[in-house]
Chains A and B, each alone.
Chain A
Amino acid sequence: MAKFENVASFDSAKEVMKYMDYLPPETTDEEKMDYLVKFILVAIIEFSV
C-alpha cells in the first residue's frame, strides 16, 4: 500500500483491483482491468460501452 498512495501511476491499477470486492469473487485480474478500462472510457465519453 505504501507504494501506491495515489492512482497516478498505471501500476497502481493492481492495487485498485484489491478493493473491487463488488465484482464476483471469481473475477480475474484481466477481467478487472477490462472493467477499469471501461470505467475510464465511460467517464471520458459519457455513454455506456
Chain B
Amino acid sequence: MNKEQAEKLYMERCKLFRDTIAFKKPARIPYYANIWTWRWTDAGYTVSEVCHDYDKVKIAMDLFFSKYKVDAVIDSGVRNPFPLVNTLGDSWYDNLGKESFNCGDKYCFDAEDLDAMKENIVKALWEIGQFKKFPNAKNYTPEQYAKAAKSLQELFEVRDWLVKDLARGKYGCYCGWSPNVVGFEVMYLFFRGIKGVSLDLRRDPQKLKEVCLAIDEIVLNPVIKRLRALPRGYDMEKPYDEFSLMLGHTVLSEKQFGEIYWPAFKRYIDTFAETGKQLFVFSEGNWIRFADFFDEVPRGVVALHVELDDIYEVRKRNKTITLSGGLQNSVMSRGTPQECVEMAKRAIDTLGQDGGFILSENKMCSYPMDAKPENVKAVAEFASNYWL
C-alpha cells in the first residue's frame, strides 16, 4: 500500500465511524480493536521490554498492523511509558520483565490532601501528588526537573510517529486515545483510587464534589472551550471528535452518580450535541443501571463501549447511543476462527444494519490468553469484507 492508498483507506475508515455513530447506514461496520498490551506479547516481547523501549513499541505496532486488518485500535501503543516515568525515579513496581508486572496499591493523594486539592489543584498536584509517587524528585534542581520534563516531548514524538506516520501513513488505520474525563474519574482512577474515593464518598461527599469541580477546571473545561471554538460539525479526519472514559461509575449508586458524576459528564456530552460533534465513551463494568441518565442524550452524538452488559439488552434499552462491542473475549480466546466470525456476523446483522454499532472486543485484550491471533485475524478479515 502506498501513501496515497493508505490515506484514502484512512478517510474511508473515518467515514465508517462517523456514519455508524450518526445512525446512518455505513458501507460496513468498522472493527475497533480493543487490543492493548496483547500486541506486545504477540510480537514476541515481554511487557517490561516494550514499556522501557520506544523502538520496540514501534516494532510491535508495525507488526500488529501488518498482520491484522483492523479499522482502528483504541491504544496508540505508548501505555506505561517508563522512559518518561523513570526520569522522576519511579519505585511503585515489581516483577518487571514478565508478561505482567505488579504495582503497589498506592495513590497520589490522601484524605487529608483534599483541602489543598480544592484550594489549588495544580499546586497540590505539584507539591503533593507527584512527590508521593516520586519522592526523590522533590530534591531535583529546577534544571534537573526541566531536563526530566523533556521526556514528555520525546513521548509525544513517539506517539505522533505511531499515530500519523505508521498507523495512518502506512496502514490507513486510526489509533490513539487522549481521554478527557470528569473530575470524579480522575479521582477514582489516578488520584485517590477505588478505596480512597469510596471512603471520601461516605466521609465528606461535599468536599469530594468540590475537588472534582476543581479538577474539571483543568481537565474538562479547557476541552469544552476548545470544542466550542472549533467550526461546527465533524472533523472528518478523525473517527470521532473526542474520547472519554466511564469507569468510576462502577463504585457509585445511581443516586451518587446523579450527584457527583452526571452533572459534569452531561455538560461535556451536551457540548458535542450543541457543536454537532461526536464523542466515544470507553466504558467498563455494567452500564445499564445508569441508562436512565442517558435517555437525555440525542441520537447520533455518543458511542459507548459495552463491556459486561449483554449488548443486545443494552440496544433494547437505549436507541440513541451507538454501541461498541459484540465480540466476547471468552470466544476470542477459546473459540475457533469460524465461531468468532459467526459471533461478529450475528452482532453486525442484529445491531448494525442501520448504523449505531461498532465491532469491538468487550474486554481489553492485554495478555496473550485474551485472544488467539488467528481469531483476531479472522474477524478482521471478515469485517473488512462484510458490506452492508
- Residues of A whose CB lies within 8 Å of any CB of B are 1, 4-10, 12-13, 15-20, 22-23, 33, 35-49
Contact = CB atoms under 8 A, between A and B. Distances in A.
Given A1-B142, A36-B149, A39-B152, 12 more contacts: A4-B142, A6-B138, A7-B137, A12-B142, A15-B142, A17-B146, A23-B153, A35-B149, A39-B151, A46-B80, A47-B177, A49-B178
B138 A45 contact: no
Nearest to A33: B122
A6 B139 contact: yes
Interface of B: 75-76, 78-81, 84-85, 87-88, 108, 120, 122-123, 125-127, 129-131, 133-134, 137-143, 145-153, 155-156, 159, 176-179, 189-190, 218
A48 B126 contact: no
Contact of B122 (A9, A20, A37, A46): A37
Contacts of A4: 141-142
Given A7-B137, A16-B149, A22-B150, A45 B142 contact: no
A19 to B, nearest CB: 3
Nearest to A9: B127
23 contacts: A6-B141, A7-B137, A8-B138, A8-B139, A10-B122, A10-B123, A17-B146, A19-B143, A19-B145, A19-B147, A22-B153, A35-B152, A37-B125, A39-B148, A43-B87, A43-B134, A44-B108, A44-B129, A44-B133, A44-B190, A46-B81, A47-B80, A48-B177
Among A4, A33, A42, max chain B CB count under 10 A is at: A42
Question: Which 6 residue pairs across A and B have the least CB separation, nearest first?
Answer: A19-B146, A15-B142, A39-B152, A10-B123, A10-B126, A16-B142
Nearest to B82: A46
Contact of A43 (B133, B141, B218): B133
A20 B179 CA distance: 26
Question: What is the predominant secondary structure among interface residues of chain B facing chain A?
Answer: helix
Contact of A47 (B79, B140, B143, B218): B79
Contacts of A39: 84, 148-149, 151-152
A40 B165 CA distance: 27
Contact of B146 (A1, A16, A42): A16
Contacts of B177: 47-48
Contacts of A9: 127
A6 B136 CA distance: 11
A17 B126 CA distance: 14
B226 to A, nearest CB: 12
Contacts of A37: 122, 125, 218
A41 B52 CA distance: 18
A48 B130 contact: no
Nearest to B162: A48
Among A23, A35, A42, A48, max chain B CB count under 10 A is at: A48
Contacts of A17: 146
A5 B138 CA distance: 10
Given A8-B131, A10-B122, A42 B152 contact: yes
A47 B147 CA distance: 19
Given A39-B152, A43-B133, A10 B141 contact: no
Contacts of B218: 37
Among A7, A10, A12, A38, max chain B CB count under 10 A is at: A7
Nearest to A37: B122
A41 B85 CA distance: 10
Contact of B129 (A6, A22, A35, A40): A40
A14 B156 CA distance: 23
A36 to B, nearest CB: 6
B130 A44 contact: yes
A47 B190 CA distance: 11
Contacts of A20: 146, 149-150
A47 B127 CA distance: 21
